Amino acid sequence: MPISEKTKNRLLISFAISSIMRFGALPGLVGLVIMGIGIYQQIDTLKIVGFVLTIPILWVYIVIMFIYIPFAIFDKLWKP
C-alpha cells in the first residue's frame, strides 16, 4: 500500500529536526552558556555571540511549536 504524500512529509519532519539538533546541539548549548555569562556580566559581545550560537536550537523549537504541533492537531481534527 503506497504512503500518501501528506503522511510521508509528516514522517520526514522528525528526521529533519533530528539532523538539525544533531549538528546544532553542542554549539547551541555552548551558546546558551556564553549568552548567560554575557547577561550576568553585562557584556554585549558575549550576548550576541551566544545568541548566534543558539540559533539552531531556537530554530528547532520554533518549528516544533508553531508548525509541527498545530499541523498534527488540525490534521487529526479534519479526518473523518
The answer to whether 24 and 31 are in contact (CB under 8 A) is: no
Residue 1 lies in a domain: no
Instruction: Flag whether 80 is in a domain.
Output: no
C-alpha to C-alpha distance for 18 and 63, rounded to whole angstroms: 12
Whether 79 maps to a domain, the answer reads: no
In a domain, 3, yes or no: no
pLDDT tens string, the chain, 80 residues long: the values are 576 777 777 767 766 667 777 777 788 889 999 999 999 999 999 999 999 999 888 887 787 778 777 777 776 666 55
**Number of structural domains found in the chain:** 1
Q: What is the model's pTM? A: 0.61
Structural domain for 69, as ranges: 8-74
